[in-house]
Amino acid sequence: MTNLPCSADLDLWFAEQPGDLAVAQARCDACPLATACLAGALERREPWGVWGGRIIVDGEVVATKRGRGRPRKLVAAS
Ligand code: SF4
């Protein structure tokens, strides 16, 4: 099937910006394969991306993807 929403501009499905991921999720909502796509991604434990309208990180659905950046600074106990 070549007319899937993700067949064009696939980078959007693996974008870093939350706004871009939201666009991909909305496009998945119109996809006839969304349910099977999500099930397959979970079964394969996809490392990352938008699948079936959900954001997956390390094989699990997450609400949002954390952006890249410096890790949180730990405060040493005194
Ligand atoms: S549900 Fe899956 S196949 Fe359909 S547009 Fe989204 S990522 Fe592509």
pLDDT at 8: 87
DSSP secondary structure of 1-34: ----GGGS-GGGGG-SSHHHHHHHHHHHHT-TTH
pLDDT at 3: 85
5-54 confidence digits (pLDDT tens):
999 889 999 999 999 999 999 999 999 999 999 999 999 999 999 999 99
Ligand 1 close to Cβ of residue 23 (< 6 A): no
| 17 CA → ligand 1 middle, Å | 18
Answer for the pair 43, 6: CB distance below 8 angstroms, yes or no.
Answer: no
Q: How far is Cα 65 from Cα 55, in angstroms, rounded to an integer?
A: 7
| 67 CA → ligand 1 middle, Å | 22
Please give the model's pTM, rounded to 2 decimal places.
0.83
Ligand 1 close to Cβ of residue 34 (< 6 A): yes
